[in-house]
Amino acid sequence: MRYARRIAMYGAVTALALSASPAHATGSVTGAGPARTAAVAKTPYGEVREILRRLTTVDGAPGALAEVSDARGRTVITSGVADIDTHTPIAGGSRFRIGSLTKTFTATVVLQLVGEHKVALDAPVERYLPGLVRGNGNDGRHITVRQLLQHTSGLPDYLDHLTPQDILRDPLAHHDREEVIGIALGHPRLFAPGKGWKYSSTNYVLAGMLIEKVTGHPYGEEIGQRIIRPLGLHDTSVPGDEPGITGPHPRGYVRPGDSGLVDVTEFNPSVANASGAMISSGADVNRFFGALMNGRLLRPTELRAMTTTRPTGGSSDRAYGLGLQSRSLPCGGLYWGHDGDIFGFQTMAGVTADGRQVTVLANLDPGGSEAQDTDLRAAVTTALCEGAASKPAA
């Protein structure tokens, strides 16, 4: 989600000053046990530690976390604080909002339905949501399910027209799916379906509605039944209208302009819906992406469809599949994953074909800060490359 990319516009909230307490960095290898009870790390990940320190001492994030899984086990590295008032250190087993990482869960369920012959990827959206997508050149009769999942539909992003003021004016308010779809359809299509690429959370709100129409169950129930419970993702949930985060978690902050930090931990994530509402942890996100890429969640045909990408344009090396993106690694090869930002949190996750996994978090939505975005990306690629170097010789 990209709510707080425009948060600097919002100046009518009370700001909190960032605590000047020193950052700290720790590490742990957990094996099969919980991250927060693990022993001292056997693997240093020194460069990753330095990046997390930079995130919390230079970039301005209160806290940062990286959880790595590779041939040597699980390593958790943290820096900074979970709460700027109490100065509580950020905990390795923390839960947090994962924003647009939710899209990969949603796409996985749609592709499972494709594998069950309940959805056709190249069928028009109109078949499943008749009459819903109409207006200003937007027409579900000419947009396919595949185009929704790959952001090639041409549908406007409702978040480009729903400002942070609108959301934070009443952060506990419920937002209907029809409401946000209506906001998007009130604007002209961006391009003819299939003729361009533009990231749009509207696509994934519609994908969640498609899941409900086909299965008769809310998208969150289907994610729970098909992914969360089978994989044992005990820290993962689809919260609906619930504004809080259960279990151990950091506070989430935004920075409106230069006025300090604002705590936005509690807000109703219904505005994100199937495009970005979920909560998880580093361990669970890694387990999910590992299971996805090793074929536990999708049949080979659907996994190939998910990993068939197209360039997204611009200077980025990102290529986008169906709810999954690839990027190059500085040590060679590429990794798969997704990014997510939502009020209070920014996350990135990556997994390589040989099973190295990492999830990184900052409990500050950067609001357009390139420094935080760059350093989180560097933490992902550095961890995956160091993991490759640690692989035992064949």
Q: 311: which strand partners?
A: 319
Rg (CA), the chain: 20
Angle at the Cα of 370 (from 201 to 82), degrees rounded to 5? 80
Question: Would you state the torsion angle of the CA atoms of residues 187, 193, 197, 198, taken in this order, to the nearest 10 degrees?
Answer: 20
Could you list the beta-strand ranges (E) of the chain: 25-29, 39-40, 63-70, 73-80, 95-97, 134-135, 138-139, 253-254, 262-263, 279-281, 310-311, 319-320, 325-328, 334-342, 345-351, 357-362
Report yes or no: 338 and 325 within 8 Å, Cβ to Cβ: yes
> Among residues 100, 153, 270, 281, which one is catalytic?
100
| Buried b / exposed e along 153-184 (16+ C-beta atoms within 10 A) | bbbbbbbbebebeebbeebeeebebeebbebb
- C-alpha pair distances (Å), 121 with each of 65, 205, 219: 37, 17, 18
Beta 345-351 vs 357-362: how paired, if at all?
Answer: antiparallel
Direct distance between the N- and C-terminal alpha carbons of the chain, in angstroms, rounded to an integer: 41
Report yes or no: 353 and 364 within 8 Å, Cβ to Cβ: no
Report yes or no: 233 and 227 within 8 Å, Cβ to Cβ: yes
Q: Does residue 100 carry a catalytic annotation?
A: yes
- C-alpha pair distances (Å), 141 with each of 178, 199, 209: 18, 20, 16
> Token digits for 131?
């009459």
Query: Which are the catalytic amino acids?
Result: 100
